Amino acid sequence: MSQATNQSWGGRFSEPTDAFVARFTASVTFDQRLARQDIQGSIAHATMLARVGVLTDEERDTIINGLTEIQGEIERGEFNWSIPLEDVHMNIEARLTDKIGITGKKLHTGRSRNDQVATDIRLFMRDEIDVIEAELVRLREGMIELADREADTIMPGFTHLQTAQPVTFGHHLLAWQEMLTRDHERLLDCRKRVNVMPLGAAALAGTTYPIDRHVTAELLGFDRPAENSLDAVSDRDFAIEFTSFASILLMHLSRMSEELVLWTSAQFDFIDLPDRFCTGSSIMPQKKNPDVPELVRGKTGRVYGHLMALLTLMKSQPLAYNKDNQEDKEPLFDAVDTVRDCLKAFADMVPAIEPKKDSMYEAARRGFSTATDLADYLVRKGVAFRDAHEIVGQSVAYGLKTKKDLSEMTLEELQQFSATIEQDVFEVLTLEGSVAARNHIGGTAPDQVRAAASRAREALAALKGDA
């Protein structure tokens, strides 16, 4: 048996908690990560209690000074965390009472651990979202600048991982950037729902003390207090929503990672990643492995698992708070850490990508990537599209037989499939002519890529301004 019953709730118990149960139910080993937010919330709560007359100004100042000293102890690694005290909240409160005496016991007036932990998690998530957003902005900025620089770099575009049509590397990068734009918007939208204050809901029904929740919300930087006390203490939608954002973001980074892994292979040879983002082999001295994108690709499943864990955690809970909710922190903390680290890795790595322009260009010349351009040429000459499609298909079959790309065939060779084809056909069969012809918003023409990069830069600046 444990030595004593927990002093925060043990008055009605006739025997101490079993030692194993104390360890099994304790969360302090992981929720001590919320210490800074817990102290921040307690300082605001004490300030509000003094403002409404529940605490004296002297009691408020004594509590705040004690909490500030405890914060210093934690930051210096001098704080002694106790499993019998269960969680971060009771560890800090017990230490406060040790330091300042009975006044420390007054801090919990008008609140419960239920609204306290809900507030701590929201403060933590708000802080982490801001850090994650900064990394996401840094990645988007680097990607936009690289796309602008590579607006003229031609590479093959793929469908079914088969050569389809020529595009520019800049255009491809801006496709990635569009994914991140949606992720950025989702993150900022999630932050709005995170920034609602549960404090004051107490255990589930509110409190009889004359608290002013608007004061506390203002002190803590929340947009507003939660409207309903039952929902305030039991809601974890914001955690699920963040993990949903994280899963979609990691899905996007995983898709990018897959392409980076392919492009660095000898078979593609499209790009080079600086050595600092790669590792070698213990047995094969020639190897340069793209470990960063591979690991990001692998971590995606980990975040998906956290989303499913949180959804499953909440799916059968009746109102209001249940002990189940202690299990929200570890998956949420790990999702936060994983997203932040993956974004940092990408924000450092993407601007350093070195495209191998000659390899990209030669790859775009293979696979008859201008076949659609030939079909469009015939249509402009008056040939029905389905007939043009058939003519080009016959031309490609001939090219496969003779091992010639369309642009390598003579005019006479092309005219055996259609007399409509004339000398000007070679203007559309070049890779440069193909990409330049797609000169509309959203197209791969170099001018359009540069214009799209400029618009993306402006939109990102506006989004940062709104935030």
User: How far apart are the C-alpha atoms of 404 and 386, rounded to whole Å?
Assistant: 24
Angle ∠(262,263,269) on CA atoms, nearest 5: 120
b/e per residue 64-76 (b: at least 16 CB within 10 A): bebbeebbeebee
Encoded tokens for 125? 């998530």
Is 160 an annotated catalytic residue? Answer: yes
- DSSP letters along 295-357, please? HHHHHHHHHHHHHHHHHHHHTTPPSS--GGGGGGHHHHHHHHHHHHHHHHHHHHHGGG-EE-H
pLDDT of residue 463: 86
In degrees and rounded to multiples of 5, residue 459 shows phi and psi of -65, -40
> In a structure prediction context, what are the per-residue pLDDT tens digits for the chain, which is 467 residues long?
344 455 566 667 767 778 888 788 889 999 999 999 999 999 999 999 999 999 999 999 999 999 999 999 999 999 999 999 999 999 999 999 999 999 999 999 999 999 999 999 999 999 999 999 999 999 999 999 999 999 999 999 999 999 999 999 999 999 999 999 999 999 999 999 999 999 999 999 999 999 999 999 999 999 999 999 999 999 999 999 999 999 999 999 999 999 999 999 999 999 999 999 998 888 888 889 999 999 999 999 999 999 999 999 999 999 999 999 999 999 999 999 999 999 999 999 999 999 999 999 999 998 899 999 999 999 999 999 999 999 999 999 999 999 999 999 999 999 999 999 999 999 889 999 999 999 999 999 999 999 999 999 999 999 876 66
Instruction: Give the DSSP per-residue string, 103-134.
Output: GGGGTTTT--HHHHHHHHHHHHHHHHHHHHHH
User: What is the predicted pLDDT for the residue at 104?
Assistant: 97
Torsion, Cα 309 311 317 319, to 10 degrees, reads 130
- Residue 171's pLDDT is 98
Residue 64 to residue 77: CA distance in whole angstroms = 20
CB 54 within 8 A of CB 207: no
Tokens 């897959």 label which residue? 258
- 249-262 as b/e, with b when 16 or more CB fall inside 10 Å? bbebbbebbebbbb
pLDDT at 1: 38
What does the pLDDT read at residue 353? Answer: 97
Measured from the Cβ of residue 207, the count of other Cβ atoms closer than 10 Å reads 18
* Cα atoms in the Cβ-side hemisphere of radius 13 Å centred on 199: 36
Which of 14, 160, 282, 440 is catalytic? The answer is 160
The token pair at 442 is 């959203």
Q: Which domains does the chain have, with CATH numbers?
A: 10-109 (1.10.275.10), 114-362 (1.20.200.10), 367-466 (1.10.40.30)
List the catalytic residue out of 82, 265, 281, 454. Answer: 281
* Spatial contact of 167 and 435, defined as CB atoms under 8 Å apart: yes
Residue 281 known to be catalytic: yes
SS3 60: helix
Q: Are strands 154-159 and 162-168 parallel, antiparallel or unpaired?
A: antiparallel
